[in-house]
Amino acid sequence: HTQHRTGLYDFVRAASNAKALASPVLHAYACDDPLIQPERASELVELLDRDIQRDGPRLCWEAGGHYVQQTHASELADALEDWVLNDLCTRSSSDRTGVP
């Protein structure tokens, strides 16, 4: 079932959806993901990095499989906490005050 669903994934539409995002994005993946080709993850990183509005952590591990939220839980949690407390809160504060 999973392979069938993966084969039906519309990468062009996914890229279009990513381009439409107007908020910061955390992107975490492993190069040995058996379902997502490393090239696809790299394409998404490149696409997200083209616009400052989608700025956010880009986390890549050589190993970790498809479930990096399990295989790299501590590192992911640390990155998420740092991002929320330091980047997003700062950005939100400057949005309210108009001061960068």
Q: For every one of its 100 residues, what pLDDT tens digit does the chain have, with 9 covering 90 and above?
A: 455 555 677 878 888 888 888 888 999 999 999 988 888 888 888 888 888 888 889 999 999 999 999 999 999 999 999 999 987 787 666 655 555 5
For the CA atoms of 86, 90, 26, 56, the dihedral, rounded to the nearest 10 degrees, stands at -100
Instruction: Note the pLDDT of residue 1.
Output: 46
At 35 the three-state DSSP class reads coil
pTM of the model: 0.74
Read off the DSSP letter of residue 59: E
Instruction: Note the pLDDT of residue 89.
Output: 81
Residue 69 CA, distance from chain mean position: 12
Provide the phi-psi class of 98: left if phi over 0, else alpha when psi is between -120 and 50, else beta: left
At 90 the three-state DSSP class reads helix
